[in-house]
Amino acid sequence: MSILVLAEHHNGQLSDGTAHVVAAATAIGGNVDVLVAGESVQGVAETAATLEGVSRVRVADAAVYAHQLAEPIGDLLVRLADDYTHVLTAASTGGKNALPRLAALKGVNQISEILEVVSADTFKRPIYAGNAIATVQSDDPLKVITVRTTAFDAVARQGSASVEAIESEVTNAVSRFVDEALAQSDRPELGGARIIVSGGRGMGNGENFKLLEGIADKLGAAVGASRAAVDAGFVPNDMQVGQTGKIVAPDLYIAVGISGAIQHLAGMKDSKVIVAINKDDEAPIFQIADYGLVGDLFEILPALEQKL
């Protein structure tokens, strides 16, 4: 088995998700290489080389890979894929964007968002918004896989892989980067946070999210939101937790003013401990919450912040 992991990175930093994908690769077994593609990514490559279990980091450093547009990354992967039996990446927006191109160009099926490695060709993955788990087997010569990062523990940073440059460069005549607007936040990233405090429609407006931020600051937590809160314009959409937003699995998930639609549960029901704060004691969220508190969030939240 020979496995290639496509690394994710932003602003010269390796994304935390990559260490989880390497863990999934290690579970398959065999030789694990990491590919870092981008512009001015030597630092990212050096960080990737410290991930335990990685034997070699391959670096494609060129302007065409800047912003990691799917078309050139897909073409690069196609050129490298013949050396590998498996190509893996995180089921992030970046991974979901690029990897199916590799699968299609090699004429193989992609296995999306695996939760578990059963064997080198058999994997478990969620379907129907996580309401069923399918065990699937691939007979394809190349396994193209995205990994649900919250389902695998990150590998340690104590490796020392070699770093090699890839000279081969592709061209991209069909797409062009225009601009990017990223939400600014000092809090931990939603995907990797140990504690998440999330608000729903019950928050009433965007201003009231400050009540959650006070608690998040005391706990070192990230702030999330339900789709209802995002659609109502309370908060930006990158805070959305759910089937169509981010999938999270923190130690503690505090759902405030969230009813618990299946779409939202799909994104957080693997959290270790779930707390629900809601004034409606019939809300579905209470059916999965370990601790429920029925009451007015505008009274509960300030009291909670004070107690922490």
Partner 1 sequence: MKVLVAVKRVIDYNVKIRVKPDHSDVDLTNVKMAMNPFCEIAVEEAVRLKEKGVATEVVAVTVGPKAAQEQLRTALALGADRAIHVETEEVVESLAVAKLLEGVVNEEKPDLVILGKQAIDTDNNQTGQMLAALTGMGQGTFASEIVVEDGEIRVTREIDGGHQTVALKLPAVVTTDLRLNEPRYAKLPDIMKAKKKPLESRTPEALGVAVPAGLKRLKVETPAERKGGVKVGSVDELVDKLKNEAKVL
Site for partner 1 in 128-147 (CB under 8 A): 128-139
Residues 165-204 that bind partner 1 (CB under 8 A): 173-183, 191, 195
Q: Contact between 103 and partner 1 (CB under 8 A)?
A: yes
Of 18-26, 27-35, 50-58, 106-114: span binding partner 1 (CB under 8 A): 106-114
CA atoms of 73 and 125, how far apart (whole Å): 25
CA atoms of 184 and 304, how far apart (whole Å): 26
- Determine the size of the site formed for partner 1 (CB under 8 A): 87
CB of 199 to partner 1, least distance (A): 17
Closest CB to partner 1 among residues 49, 223:
223
Residues 221-240 that bind partner 1 (CB under 8 A): 227, 231, 236-238
CB of 123 to partner 1, least distance (A): 9
Q: Contact between 287 and partner 1 (CB under 8 A)?
A: yes
CB of 115 to partner 1, least distance (A): 9
Cβ atoms of residues 203 and 257 within 8 Å: yes
Residues 46-85 that bind partner 1 (CB under 8 A): 67, 69-71, 74
CA atoms of 89 and 86, how far apart (whole Å): 10
Q: How far is CA 153 from CA 115, 182, 183, in A?
A: 11, 27, 27
Q: How far is CA 160 from CA 21, 157, 262, in A?
A: 17, 9, 43
Q: Contact between 109 and partner 1 (CB under 8 A)?
A: yes
CA atoms of 161 and 64, how far apart (whole Å): 25
Q: Contact between 281 and partner 1 (CB under 8 A)?
A: yes
| Unique residue bearing structure tokens 């991209």 | 172
Give the three-class secondary structure for 45.
helix
Amino acid at 62: A
CB of 132 to partner 1, least distance (A): 5
CB of 55 to partner 1, least distance (A): 28
Beta strands in 52-161 (DSSP E): 56-61, 86-90, 110-114, 116-119, 122-127, 132-137, 143-147
Parallel, antiparallel, or unpaired for β 9-10 and 13-14? antiparallel
Closest CB to partner 1 among residues 47, 263:
263
Residues 3-22 that bind partner 1 (CB under 8 A): 10
| Unique residue bearing structure tokens 């607007």 | 181
Q: Contact between 107 and partner 1 (CB under 8 A)?
A: yes
Binds partner 1 (CB under 8 A): choice among 61, 113, 142, 215: 113
Closest CB to partner 1 among residues 110, 259:
110
Closest CB to partner 1 among residues 96, 201:
96
